[in-house]
Amino acid sequence: MESDERYRRAKRRVAVIKSFYIHLFTYIGVITLLFIIDFLTPGGWWFYWPLLGWGIAVVAHAFTVFGITGFLGSGWEERKIRELMDKKDSE
């Protein structure tokens, strides 16, 4: 039974990581296309606005998936749950 739960958790984790990579490659492809369009059309440069805005979203997604910050990530959630459960048991 425990191995089934570990498998489900691992499968969910792989799905989350896969969704990040899909997001990242979509970002790279679209930004590349926008750069080419911007390069081929007259006028000022504008492609860097979506590059910056969407780039912030990609970085935030990376922080969420890989827990780079460690702040309020899944590890924090587990620690907080255990802390609250231990606190309730001692009351």
pLDDT digits (tens, 9 = 90+) for 38-68: 999 999 999 999 999 999 999 999 988 887 6
Provide the pLDDT for residue 65.
Answer: 87
Closest CA to 24 of 46, 1, 55: 55
Sign of CA dihedral 36, 41, 45, 46: negative
Question: What is the domain partition of the chain in residue ranges?
Answer: 2-90
CA distance 14 to 65: 10
Nearest Cα residue to 16 out of 81, 82, 24, 51: 24
In this structure, what DSSP letter does residue 47 have?
T
| pLDDT tens digits for range 62-88 | 988 887 655 566 677 777 788 888 876
d(CA 67, CA 78) in angstroms, rounded, equals 13
pLDDT above 80 (res 16): yes
Structure tokens that stand for 72 in this block: 């309020």
pTM of the model: 0.70
pLDDT in tens, 25-37: 999 999 999 999 9
